[in-house]
Amino acid sequence: MASIKDYKIATLGSHSALQILKGAHDEGFETICICRKGYRKPYESFKVADEIIEIEHFHDFFEIEDQLIKKNAILIPHGSFVAYIGPEKVKDIKVMHYGTRGILEHESDREKARKWLEKAKCKTPKIFKKPEEIDRPVIIKFHGAKGGKGYFIANSPEDFYDSIKDFPEDEKYVIQEYIVGVPMYTHYFYSRVTEELEVMSFDKRYESNADSIGRIAARDQLDANIKTSYTITGNMPMVIRESILPEVFEMGENIIKVSKELVGDGLFGPFCLEAIVDPNLNFYVFEISARIVAGTNPYVDGSPYTWLRYDVPMSTGRRIALDIKMAIEQDCLEKVLG
Ligand code: AMP
Ligand code: AMP
């Protein structure tokens, strides 16, 4: 029978690698961390990597891919794969890797992601096709924007044209209704081995400078001529009102159902719905991540929700390793490989 000793778990050193590698160790796998030069320290210090492979830049990943294949490594993609290697190149990965092949295209293309969410009956913020249609607060998101830097808010067409002057003309953007509410990001896990959807945890992000503007009086905000940005710097753990949980499960289940119409056998593994919840408890989902999100990082030793279900501290990283382990032991590894 195949054993987990025949395989290693590998990932890129950034984003949620500490959690992924620690989780793999906890399930009994040996681990490999692929690091950029100068970034190995955390992976050594926290003792999560049995082996570190250094590369100059993440886009040099394909130069070391053969080494991973020889070691029978299973690669776990995360946000840095999408950001630095690109969703289209992820499709070219030859080494065994966890997750649905082709799904990352649907999360990184705003149009495709929106169609997915709408088909799954998630409420989404309204999109304005032309600046002239702006009749309420909107957020303008540039396609290339990384981590919410360079977004701006407008209230009217005039306001829009006044602010857009600061950006290069050819830059593509979307005009989205600005939802006044609180951000709530739900971390799900769907296993193709157990065919069950789990709610793993929730987070809210800590964004600079949006999360600090309220520290100064409105008058001072105007004096300082602040431009709001949403650069992600970290994540905070959260639990939600228990009466909302049934809806949270339903949203996740609909996403999985619709994913089966989009790609092959559909989405599996960790995914996240990023929503703003308004005062009427409506979830406005503005983004979907079809892979582990860094918002799961506060839960290296499990979340209140995983504690209800598991008798060991179960992080999302560890849940991935457990899925792979179950697939190996049940001789159905192909179910979890992209
Ligand atoms: P990094 O490797 O830290 O540059 O992150 C790669 C991508 O993941 C970037 O596009 C970030 O915006 C996103 N990201 C990194 N860390 C977090 C986090 N803690 N929460 C949400 N997104 C993140
Ligand atoms: P994104 O780059 O799409 O993840 O958005 C970055 C941040 O902007 C989010 O974490 C929210 O704080 C905020 N945001 C994005 N879209 C909306 C929206 N439609 N309404 C209100 N806030 C939003």
Nearest Cα residue to atom 13 of ligand 2: 230
Which residues does 258 contact at the CB level (< 8 Å), separation at least 6?
A: 116, 119, 120
Predicted local distance difference test score (pLDDT) of residue 145: 57
Which residues of the chain carry a pLDDT beneath 70? 144-148, 170
122/289 Cα distance (integer angstroms): 14
**Centre of ligand 1 from the C-alpha of residue 290, in Å:** 14
Per-residue model confidence as pLDDT tens digits over 209-263: 999 999 999 999 889 888 888 888 999 999 999 999 999 999 999 999 999 998 8
Q: How many angstroms is it from 115 CA to the middle of ligand 2?
A: 18
Ligand nearest to the CA of 18: 1
Ligand 1 geometric centre to CA of 158 (Å): 33
Q: Whose CA is nearest to atom 21 of ligand 1?
A: 294
Burial of 292 (0-12, 13-18, 19+ CB in 10 A): buried
Atom of ligand 1 nearest to the CA of 233: 19
pLDDT at residue number 8:
98
Return the ligand number nearest the Cα of 57.
Answer: 1
Q: Are 168 and 127 in contact (CB under 8 A)?
A: no
pLDDT score for 257: 97
Q: Specify the 3-state DSSP secondary structure of 37.
A: coil
CA dihedral 58, 63, 64, 67 (to 10 degrees): 160
Distance 179 CA to ligand 2 centre (A): 9
Q: What is the pLDDT of residue 172?
A: 84
Question: Which atom of ligand 1 lies at the shortest distance from residue 79's CA?
Answer: 8
Length of the chain: 338
Q: Which residues' Cβ are closer than 6 Å to ligand 2?
A: 125, 139, 141, 148, 176-179, 183, 205, 207, 230, 274, 276, 286-287
Predicted confidence at residue 189, as pLDDT, reads 98
Residue nearest to atom 11 of ligand 1 (CA): 147
Which residue segments constitute the domains of the chain, with CATH numbers given?
Answer: 4-121+181-209+234-336 (3.30.470.20), 132-177 (3.30.1490)
Tell me which amino acid residue 329 is: E
